Structure 1
Amino acid sequence: AAANLTEVFTNIKSILADKKPNESLPIGFDIFVLLAEEAVKNGLDAISKECLRIYLSLDAPNNQFRARAFLAQAKLLQPTSSEHPEALEKPIAYVLKTIELCRKIPKYHFLVFNASVVYSELVRPFLKPHFRRFLCQSLSQVVKALEAIDDKDY
């Protein structure tokens, strides 16, 4: 899978390199998010970062792909140890941005649930004495968002 993702990424970069300055993008914006998500899953952080950088630099609409880009960014920034709780600030900010974007649009409410899952993965190592205080405010926001959307699936 990693070789295929690398090949796709290389092909996309060559398409972008061939694009003239005022020419519209010959591929959909969403491809960058889809590729970033798969790259994160496969440990290809450099590809994921570059795809997200490209996507977020485009004038992409506020839709599910922007929300998914925020979640991929949160996963990329996930702390590798629980020794530094301040390292949670950026990834949690991306989760909360996702929630804020999606709670207003009923067809994207499923992404509020997805964001809560990413949040739980991020904070799990910090659910221990003396660290929980770093999570109170953000956990409260996540729970309130889940309650507000009143999705019967969660």
Structure 2
Amino acid sequence: MNLAAEVIALASDQGATLACAESCTGGLVAAALTDIAGSSAAFDRGFVTYSNAAKTTHLGVPEAMIAAHGAVSEEVARAMAEGARRAAGATLAVSTTGIAGPGGSEHKPEGRVCFGLATAGGTRTETVEFGAIGRSEVRAAARDHALRLLLGALSQP
């Protein structure tokens, strides 16, 4: 069983609902989840908020937060996940924001992706440095990591 199928199966069994807020992955997390037959039992909605304005308008990420920390930050990933969870009324929401490449900078290198996972118990964030492995590869790795975050949360007793 693939990651997305495991996430949907566990969420469905638990009566949990899922949402996602994506920037650098551009909808890949939502696509992976909705590729699974019967995913509508658990997946509510996804937000592709690629621009800073979309993050603010659709997820409630404060403009001042983006200005202070940048869109690729754990602070913004947290706000994105919390905004998606709130907007969807979902049990769990995951977010991705990063630099898929090419490009980046000394302070925010190519391959850096920040994740947020919002649950009823709170929100956690983390940053993963995938490295300059190529745009498609960073996006796929970020998709899989986001799915693993959801799976881990659903697997908690």
TM class by smaller structure: under 0.3
Q: Which has the higher helix share?
A: 1
**Structure showing greater Rg:** 1
Higher relative contact order (CA 8 A, sep 6+): 2
With normalisation by structure 2, the TM-score equals 0.26
With normalisation by structure 1, the TM-score equals 0.26
